[in-house]
Amino acid sequence: MGLLRIMMPPKLQLLAVVAFAVAMLFLENQIQKLEESRSKLERAIARHEVREIEQRHTMDGPRQDVALDEEDDMVIIYNRVPKTASTSFTNIAYDLCAKNKYHVLHINTTKNNPVMSLQDQVRFVKNITSWKEMKPGFYHGHISYLDFAKFGVKKKPIYINVIRDPIERLVSYYYFLRFGDDYRPGLRRRKQGDKKTFDECVAEGGSDCAPEKLWLQIPFFCGHSSECWNVGSRWAMDQAKYNLINEYFLVGVTEELEDFIMLLEAALPRFFRGAAELYRTGKKSHLRKTTEKKLPTKQTIAKLQQSDIWKMENEFYEFALEQFQFIRAHAVREKDGDLYILAQNFFYEKIYPKSN
């Protein structure tokens, strides 16, 4: 028995195509509305949680007029660069905050825009410095460096960060936009449905894998000046290096994240006591992994490395790595393949005048 083939008139075919297109647009619109509703709900929940904390502090007694001791007055800002293991590290802060008695707050900017408006910069600086109910506080979010000194702040927050090999970071971000990760596998991603590999994208000269997309870690450290976001700016790289040395307490690298955490615990135990052990033994050590990620070929890597933008981002990465390894070399000792934090190796003597 042969197959019955029904021929559809051209007009009906056209109507069917149009109907299908309209249906897809409708579904896309509904998905967008759901995502916006979810975002609004998250913000409402966050505001409710903040109010609860403030009410709890009020019930415990007024705190505004009480001077905080130095450790309780501490604020850390982790202006996390996307796809540098930032979620894995941030979850350690969340796991430790109740035990170590500090607050963790996520800085959620609209569309993940890392540059704040001038008025938002003022609001943010005011929040960070005067919001005593949230101190000690650990703030994290995808925002570029902000110089608190230019707002007249005397006690600046402590900046920390982690960076990654620039090509590895871009590859991870490329696949993340298409396939997501194992942290929220059901969430629809911006480039979902695009099956093109990173190698294919580079070979075809695609925009999502263009060398310009490497320009991210430098502007994150450079800050809110317009020149910071001028792709390939030598001034921006020099400023990023200056800030890394002078404005950041510690900058680690994704490839040596455990050592970064160990150094933070030794230097800032008020926040990170227990962090190294939690990272080594906890289930959340490598919580977020990009799905469907395929390593690029040597040819792809070589092509990207011809770019001046890669050379600058890689120079910055190597600069940060050298600084981190220098700090680590003076803070730990190695024994049987393991690293141990050095004990205090300075003391005071010849103290005058002598007490009676």
Model confidence pLDDT, tens digit, residues 98-116 = 999 999 999 999 888 999 9
DSSP labels for 174-192?
Answer: HHHHHH-BSSSTTSPPTTT
Return the bridge partners of 75, or none: 137
126 within domain boundaries = yes
Query: Per-residue pLDDT tens for 280-310?
Result: 987 654 455 555 678 999 999 999 999 999 9
30 within domain boundaries = no
Q: Return the pLDDT at 57.
A: 54
Return the bridge partners of 347, or none: none
36 within domain boundaries = no
Higher pLDDT, 292 or 151: 151
* Number of compact structural domains in the chain: 1
Burial of 30 (0-12, 13-18, 19+ CB in 10 A): exposed
- Indicate the pLDDT class of residue 189, thresholds 50, 70 and 90: very low
- Indicate the pLDDT class of residue 221, thresholds 50, 70 and 90: very high
347 within domain boundaries = no
Mean pLDDT of all residues in 306-329: 97
Report the chain's mean pLDDT, rounded to a whole number: 86
Q: Return the pLDDT at 192.
A: 55
Is 224 marked active-site? no
326 within domain boundaries = yes
Return the bridge partners of 160, or none: 78, 250
Is 140 marked active-site? yes
Q: Of residues 142, 224, 286, 330, which has the active-site annotation?
A: 142
356 within domain boundaries = no
47 within domain boundaries = no
Query: Per-residue pLDDT tens for 48-78?
Result: 655 665 555 555 554 454 566 788 899 999 9
Q: Of residues 48, 103, 140, 286, which has the active-site annotation?
A: 140
Provide the residue range defining the domain that includes 170. 70-339
Distances (CA, A) of 71 to 86, 117, 136, 261: 24, 31, 7, 19
- Indicate the pLDDT class of residue 5, thresholds 50, 70 and 90: very low
- CATH code of the domain containing 86: 3.40.50.300
Half-sphere exposure of 71 (CA within 13 A, CB side): 9
Higher pLDDT, 273 or 61: 273
Place of tokens 């966050």: 46
Q: Return the pLDDT at 30.
A: 74
For residue 331, give the DSSP letter: T
353 within domain boundaries = no
